[in-house]
């Protein structure tokens, strides 16, 4: 049985800095395959952490 991944609390400062360091961008024509995959992997981690941050900061409203 798979258990959900528990990520420690993330800060908006950390996510913003990672966004600056590893922005979403199109590959440069001069990059080789390895460079493209490496950059895609970096970006994938940033997007995963962004989604985790968003989940951690959702407000749940329960109506009685």
Residues 6+ away with beta carbon under 8 Å from 55: none
What is the number of domains present in the chain? 1
Q: Is the pTM of this model over 0.85?
A: no
> Tens digit of pLDDT for each residue in 9-49?
999 999 999 999 999 999 999 999 999 999 999 999 999 99
At 2, the pLDDT band (50, 70, 90 cuts) reads confident
**Is residue 59 predicted with pLDDT exceeding 70?**
no
Domain membership of residue 34 (yes or no) is: yes
What pLDDT sits at residue 58? 85
| Euclidean distance between CA atoms 38 and 43, whole angstroms | 9
Three-state SS annotation for the chain: CCCCCCCCCCCHHHHHHHHHHCCCCCCCCCCCHHHHHHHHHHHHHHHHHHHHHHHHCCCCCCCC
- The residue segments making up the domain with residue 51 are 12-55
């Amino acid at each position: 049985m798979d258990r959900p991944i528990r990520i420690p609390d993330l800060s908006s400062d950390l996510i913003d800095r990672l966004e600056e360091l590893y922005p979403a961008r199109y590959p440069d024509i001069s990059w080789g395959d390895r460079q493209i995959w490496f950059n895609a992997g970096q970006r994938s981690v940033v997007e995963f952490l962004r989604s985790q941050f968003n989940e951690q900061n959702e407000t749940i409203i329960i109506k009685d």
